[in-house]
C-alpha cells in the first residue's frame, strides 16, 4: 500500500513542490561552517566556498547562522521564489 500522506506544512501554497526552507535553515544554523545547507539547496560552488571560509578563516559559521535566520524568517513562498527558483546563492 502506498503512503499518500504529505507534509503540507513545508510546501508553498499553489506550487505543489518541495520547499526546503525549514531544513535548510536548521542546517545553516547548526552546520553552517561546513556549508551543508548550500549543498542541500544544490549550491555546490557556494558550499565549497563556505566550507573553505569555515576552515581557513572561521567566518563560515557566522555566515551560516545569518543565512539560517534569514531562511527561517521568510515565508515558504518567499523562500521558494528566492532560493529554489531564483537561485540566489548568498543571503
pLDDT of residue 16: 47
Which DSSP helix (H) or strand (E) runs through 50? helix 44-56
Residue 41 near residue 89, CB atoms below 8 Å: no
Residue with the bigger pLDDT between 57 and 91: it is 57
Assess contact for 6 and 56: CB atoms under 8 A.
no
Give the pLDDT of residue 61: 87
pLDDT at 28: 94
What distance in Å separates the CA atoms of residue 6 and residue 9, rounded to the nearest whole number?
Answer: 9
Using the predicted structure, report yes or no on whether residue 12 has a pLDDT greater than 70: no
Closest CA to 67 of 44, 52, 83, 84: 83
Query: In which element (H, E) is residue 21 found?
Result: helix 21-31
More confident residue, 86 or 33: 33
Domains of the chain, by residue range, sit at: 20-85
Amino acid at each position: 500500500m502506498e503512503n499518500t500522506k504529505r507534509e503540507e506544512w513545508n510546501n508553498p501554497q499553489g506550487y505543489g513542490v518541495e520547499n526546503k526552507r525549514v531544513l535548510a535553515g536548521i542546517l545553516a544554523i547548526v552546520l553552517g561552517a561546513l556549508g551543508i545547507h548550500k549543498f542541500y539547496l544544490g549550491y555546490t560552488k557556494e558550499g565549497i566556498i563556505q566550507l573553505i571560509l569555515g576552515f581557513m578563516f572561521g567566518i563560515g559559521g557566522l555566515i551560516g547562522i545569518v543565512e539560517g535566520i534569514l531562511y527561517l524568517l521568510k515565508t515558504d513562498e518567499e523562500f521558494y521564489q528566492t532560493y529554489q527558483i531564483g537561485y540566489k546563492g548568498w543571503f
